[in-house]
Structure 1
Amino acid sequence: MEAAELRVGFVGAGRMAGGLARGLLRAGKVPASSILASAPSDKNLDAWRESGCRTTHCNLEVLQESTLVFLATKPHVLPGVLQEIRPAVGPHHIIVSLVAGVTLQTLQRAGAMVFARGSGASDEEAALLKSLLSSCGLCEEVPESYINIHTGLSGSGVAYVYLFAEALAEGAVKMGMPGGLASRIAAQTLLGAAKMMLETGEHPAKLRGDVCTPGGTTIHALHQLEKGALRATVMNAVEAATKRACDMAED
């Protein structure tokens, strides 16, 4: 089935689902009229209607009206939802779970996603899903064991980056630069560094070394970051988020 022929449903209409839907719409992969989202109240559905998407309060209607269904509920709600929709799931459905801490709200602009296949998912279905999600950002198929690691690295990782950006900007403010300008420059700096990593494929250590000149400003600054154990702290953060994702999956 071509992406343009898909009828896409979202069971759950919060940030996670909304970010993914906006990415699909922005890329022109699926028309708004082919997207149906469900939620128990109107609280999260108004924004969907404003985008031209269809909405409902009935989860079963999403299954009945859609071929590709994204489950985007809160983790503690999912078991009840699965019991509710199970009778309506047929062999023509492609069911994709976004639950258990994999946050996709960053897909309003770009994101990094991974997915793992269940035993019933074919190569064609995996290729279709990757084609759709790649329009929103990086998308890779991985073993299931990588899913929780991805949560610690990317799902929660955006918060680490925001914290680092805040610190960069505040450092500039301390030295006399206006806060708004400092924030814009910090964001552009992060964007440029990320693009270099993706476009060159170089290890970040190589790119970091290329920026350092003997006795220059950068190596002096990096020395301070090393004294603050920045790398070890960030590694610990990824580990903590990954372990928490594993605990949530077990619960």
Structure 2
Amino acid sequence: MNQTTDSHLLAGFSGHVVLVGAGQMGGALLAGWLRLGLSPQRVTVLDPKPPANIQAVIEASGVALNPPAPAFADVLVIAVKPQIADEVMPLVTHVVARTTVVVSVMAGKTLARMEEVFGRETAIVRTIPNTPAAVGRGITGAAPNRHVSEAQRQSVDSLLGAVGRVEWLAREDWIDIVTAVSGSGPAYVFLLAETLAKAGVAAGLPLELSARLARATVEGAAELMHRSPDIEPTTLRQNVTSPNGTTHAALQVLMAHDGVDSLFEKAVAAAARRSRELAG
């Protein structure tokens, strides 16, 4: 998002947001909300020990931290690690009212499981963001249950949109595939930079030079794609591939039978399968 033009997008949000968990993802959301004009008086953070950088944001902005009797939430965002989710969720049911929408930023917790905790009539949105949210360039998949109203959906969209794009999913079971594609996806890109650097070393370059070249190439290609929203990645690839040139020679290896396409299909399938296993 453009901070200059979008800095007041949440200024008109009239609800009360309770954020449970101010770690990496919760902290990114909080920073995004404040940057986009959400009044600090409309946010309560529940976290026994926020990271130092988020603690500084909380203190500087005047956001309420762990008040003894937090008000009911219009939007309850739970951003805790899945290992402690079952312990934490029952501790925050007291801020859920009939009009609350609960937003899960917890891997592996299904809508059915959250309905068991918060009530089967509660509006709930299950999401899977990714780590580029920390720099406002994330993308979040969001699956609502049947109780989420259009107004609640718009509120959630605005809040999640503070850290990047939001894609609403027609089916909850797509969450596992979204996890495999975009949730885990940044690691695949980092691996590409790492592997490309190693290949340069194997071909004869010094390690530090090859690492700089690989990193800058991945950064630049991603930015080019970002700035070309109407051009498909396939076209961008073809634009830099001269017939029988150097890029063509490399792509013949990468795209050969059982090459990178097959590897990615297997990798995404493995990640999606593991996501389903973690959800039980």
Bin the TM-score by the shorter chain.
0.7 to 0.9
User: Judging changes above 3 Å, is the alpha-carbon distance between structure 1 residues 32 and 209 closer, same or farther for their aligned structure 2 residues?
Assistant: same
Q: Report what 1:125 is aligned to.
A: 152
Number of residues of Structure 1 aligned to a counterpart in Structure 2: 242
| SS at structure 2 position matched to 1:77 | helix
Quick one: distance in 2 between partners of 1:183 and 1:24? 34
Q: CA RMSD of the aligned region, Å?
A: 2.7
1:69 has 2:76 as partner: yes
User: Judging changes above 3 Å, is the alpha-carbon distance between structure 1 residues 57 and 160 closer, same or farther for their aligned structure 2 residues?
Assistant: farther
Post-superposition offset of 1:99: 0.8
Post-superposition offset of 1:180: 5.9
Post-superposition offset of 1:165: 1.6
Q: Report what 1:194 is aligned to.
A: 225
Render the CA deviation track for 1:57-87: whole Å, top value 9, x for unaligned: 87xx55x254221111222322233323334
| SS at structure 2 position matched to 1:91 | strand
Quick one: distance in 2 between partners of 1:75 and 1:129? 21
Provide runs of 4+ in structure 1 moved above 4 Å: none
1:54 has 2:64 as partner: yes
Query: TM-score, length-normalised on structure 2?
Result: 0.75
Quick one: distance in 1 between partners of 2:67 and 2:21? 10
Post-superposition offset of 1:241: 1.1
Deviates more, 1:66-75 or 1:82-91: 82-91
Quick one: distance in 2 between partners of 1:87 and 1:131? 24
Higher helix share: 1
Quick one: distance in 2 between partners of 1:92 and 1:23? 24
1:165 has 2:165 as partner: no
Quick one: distance in 2 between partners of 1:14 and 1:92? 26
| SS at structure 2 position matched to 1:96 | strand
Flag the structure with more relative contact order, 1 or 2, with Cα contacts below 8 A and sequence separation at least 6: 1
Quick one: distance in 1 between partners of 2:145 and 2:273? 23
User: Judging changes above 3 Å, is the alpha-carbon distance between structure 1 residues 190 and 169 closer, same or farther for their aligned structure 2 residues?
Assistant: farther
Quick one: distance in 1 between partners of 2:52 and 2:240? 47
Q: Is the 8 A contact 1:9 1:35 kept in 2?
A: yes
Question: Partner amino acid for 2:225?
Answer: A
Q: Is the 8 A contact 2:180 2:269 kept in 1?
A: yes
Identity level (%): 27
Post-superposition offset of 1:111: 0.7
Post-superposition offset of 1:183: 4.7
Question: Partner amino acid for 1:69?
Answer: L
| Residue in structure 2 matching 1:205, options 223, 231, 234 | 234
Please list every run of 5 or more consecutive structure 1 residues that lacks an aligned counterpart in the other structure.
Answer: none
Q: Report what 1:7 is aligned to.
A: 16
| SS at structure 2 position matched to 1:78 | helix
Quick one: distance in 2 between partners of 1:136 and 1:103? 9
Query: TM-score, length-normalised on structure 1?
Result: 0.83
Please list every run of 5 or more consecutive structure 2 residues that lacks an aligned counterpart in the other structure.
Answer: 1-9, 109-127
Q: Report what 2:122 is aligned to.
A: none
1:24 has 2:24 as partner: no
